[in-house]
Chains A and B, each alone.
Chain A
Amino acid sequence: MFGLIPFFRSTIGKKVLMAVSGFFLFAFCVEHVTGALLFLRGPDAINGYGRLLHYSAALIWFFRAGLLTSAVVHVTFATLLYFQEFGARPVGYQNRRYLRSSYAARTMKYSGPFLLGFVIFHLAHLTWGYNVVPGPFIEGDIYANMLNGFRTGWVALVYLGAVSLLGLHLLHGAHSMFESLGLRHRRIESLLFGFARVATVVISVGLALAPAAVFFRIIGG
C-alpha cells in the first residue's frame, strides 16, 4: 500500500482503526473501574480521586482529547463499515445457521449505538451535571452525585443495563481488536479469548458494583 491514506481507505485499514481506537477506549474502561470501585470506600476516596484527576488541567485535557478522538474514530469507522457490510449482502438468507460466531460478536453493531447513547447520558449525569436525573448536582462531590443518582431506581437500572451491554461488547471486542491487528493464530487464540473473558468480568462487575450497592441499599440505605 502506497501510503497511509489508501491503507485506511481499505477494509482492513478501517478495521485497524477500529481496533486501535477500541483499544484506547478499552484501556479507559480498565482505568474507570478503579474510580468506580473507590465509591465503595467512601466519599473521601472517590472525591480525592476526582481531585487527583483534575490536578493538572493540561493533563486531563490531554487524556480527554485522546478519548474523544478514539470515540469519534471508533463511531465513524463503525458506521462506514456497517454500511459497507449492509450493502455487501442485499438479499439475505431465508434460513440461516451460525456455527462458530458468538452472540456477542453478532450484536456488536447493536450494543455499540446503545453504549454511545449511555455514554452521553452518563456524561450529562456526572460530568456536565445536567438535570437528567432527579435531585441536585454538586460540582466536585462525586460521591454525593453518584449516590443521589443511583438512589433513583430507574437510574441504577440504566447503569446496570449499560455495563451488561458493555460486557457483551467487550466479550467480542477485547479479543477482536488484537485479531484485527493481525494477532490471529491458533496458538494464541485461547489466550486472547481468555483475556477477553477475564477483562469482561473485571470491567463489567467492577463498574456494576457501585450502582448495584446503592440499588440494594447496601450503601446509602
Chain B
Amino acid sequence: MNLVLMVWRQENARAQGHMQRIEAKDVSPDMSFLEMLDVVNEGLTEAGQSPIAFDHDCREGICGSCGVVINGVPHGPQPGTTTCQLHMRHFRDGQVIVIEPFRARAFPVIRDLMVDRSAFDRVIAAGGFITSPTGSAPDGNAMLVSKHAADTAMEAAACIGCGACVAACPNASAMLFVGAKVSHLGLLPQGQPERWSRVHAMVAAMDAEGFGGCTNFLECAAVCPKNVSSDFIGRLNRDLIGAVFLARPRVASNDAG
C-alpha cells in the first residue's frame, strides 16, 4: 500500500517546526507503524535527508516510550494499542496520515516527534518511598490483600507512563497518569503509611510541571493504550480531599507527635 504522511519536522527544541509531506511507497499491511517509519527513514537517509526522529524502545507495548498523535488521536485509531503495536492494516491504501508529537507545555519537543516526558519522572519521584520491612523475605500471605484491591491496584499499575492521556486531554491534564500512580500504591496495604502525604506531593509536583486541570472530558481514558480507567481520577480527587485532613509532614517535628 502507498501512503502520504504529513509529519511534524522540528530541528531542535528551539527551532520553528513545520509539517512535511512524505510519500511512503510499498508499505506492507503487516508492518507496525514504527516499522513503517523505519522504512520511510531508510528512504530519507538514502536521499540524503535527515530521518524522522521518534521515540521507541521495547516495541511490544509495555515500555511507554513510543507515542505519536496519528490523525488526531494519540497512538492512532486502534483502541487499547500503543503506536508500536498498531499495524498498517488499520489504514487504507492512499490514505493521508497526519503524524504529530504529543503536545503539552510539560512535554517540550526535542526533535520531530520526540518529546521530553521527564515531567512524569519528576511526578513519580515526588511520590517518594514506601515504608516496608527490610531484611529477610516476608512470609507469604502475612499481609492480606483482598482480591478486589489486588485487581484494581493491578489495573492502575498497568499505566506505562506514555503520556497519551496528556496528549489527548484538551487541557493537557495529567490527572489520569497521576491518578493511576497514586492509586496503585494507595489501594494496597504497603502503600498506606505514606498514602496522604504521597498524594499531596504528587499533585503538587503535577501542578508545578504546568499540566492543565481535569474538566471531565474523558478523552484520556479513551486513548489510554492500557485502558486505565477514569475511575482513578475520581480516586485521586477523593484522596486529595482526604489528604487535606489526614496528611502529615514526612519528617516529624521534634515534639510528641
Contact = CB atoms under 8 A, between A and B. Distances in A.
Most buried by A among B173, B214, B231: B214
Main secondary structure of the interface of B (DSSP, over half): mixed
Interface stretch (A49-57, A90-98, A116-124, A127-135): A90-98
B172 A85 contact: yes
A41 interface: no
A97 B162 CA distance: 19
B73 A11 contact: no
Contacts of A10: 203-204, 207, 240
A94 B244 contact: no
Contacts of B98: 94-95
Contact of B212 (A89, A100, A106, A182): A89
Interface in A150-186: 172, 175-176, 179-186
Given A3-B244, A176-B216, A186-B229, A90 B105 contact: yes
B43 interface: no
Interface stretch (B82-90, B142-150, B185-193, B218-226): B218-226
Contact of A176 (B203, B211, B215, B241): B215
Interface residues of B, number: 54
A88 B105 contact: yes
Interface of A: 1-4, 6-7, 9-16, 81, 84-85, 87-101, 105-106, 108, 172, 175-176, 179-186
Interface of B: 6, 8, 17, 19, 69, 71-73, 98, 100, 103-106, 109, 168, 170-173, 175, 200, 203-204, 206-207, 210-219, 221-223, 229-231, 233-238, 240-241, 243-244, 247, 249
Given A99-B222, A184-B237, 16 more contacts: A11-B206, A16-B241, A81-B213, A88-B172, A89-B105, A94-B98, A95-B98, A99-B168, A105-B217, A108-B215, A175-B216, A179-B237, A180-B216, A184-B233, A184-B234, A186-B231
28 contacts: A1-B247, A2-B247, A4-B244, A10-B207, A11-B211, A11-B214, A12-B175, A12-B240, A87-B210, A88-B104, A89-B104, A89-B171, A93-B103, A94-B8, A94-B98, A96-B72, A98-B170, A99-B168, A99-B219, A100-B217, A101-B218, A172-B216, A176-B215, A182-B234, A184-B233, A184-B234, A185-B231, A186-B231
